[in-house]
Structure 1
Amino acid sequence: MTTPLDPALAARLTRNADGLFPAIAQQYDTGEVLMLGWMDDEALHRTLTTGRCTYWSRSRREYWVKGDTSGHAQHVKSVALDCDGDTVLVKVDQVGAACHTGDRTCFDAGTLPLATE
């Protein structure tokens, strides 16, 4: 698939066997981790050029823009690539819930117990 993603940026990305990489969405002003979605080159290009987070749905096999159906949009403030080039951190201004369950974040289902020393 030909993508308009900058070739220099595309060369820095490390993708899994399906051509995808994780994208962590974080609230830009509080640091709250909201969710993890999957992107490919096209989704990243759309995210960078539209200012709205676009993800690849692995189950539906299609692109989706966060908030288009729910109204709970993610307005992009910055995007950073990690040191290995295999994950992006998207700092956003989240409108409403980030999780499909209606919760603010996908990471509020409780903490897991840690083994004691």
Structure 2
Amino acid sequence: MRLQIIQLEPYDDVISARDQLAFVKAERVLLILPRQGGILQRKLDLLLLQREAARRGVRLALISADPCVIAHARELNISVFRSLRESQRKKWRKPHSQVFLARQERAEQPLDA
């Protein structure tokens, strides 16, 4: 399988990371998060990236040492590695089969809450 590596910068955000996925020509994409910058620390950011990757038919993985990113990624079944070498040697997690929820499956929430 072909792999494309994208190095994110400290000034990048979820929008620019999603935009970079638009240019991926491989079956797998590895996002390298910067050591400083604290990007993609919200679970929602990772979910949006996961959905974009699924929409484009690519498998997503991250390189990060940030405990917050690692915890959220594991909850979403996104592979997280500590180094490029580790990402090449270890098995990548399979993405969830259903990243999107149908409208009928969403929980009903009262409007006056």
Same fold (TM over 0.5): no
Structure (1 or 2) with the greater strand fraction: 1
TM-score by length of 1: 0.27
TM-score by length of 2: 0.27
Structure (1 or 2) with the greater helix fraction: 2
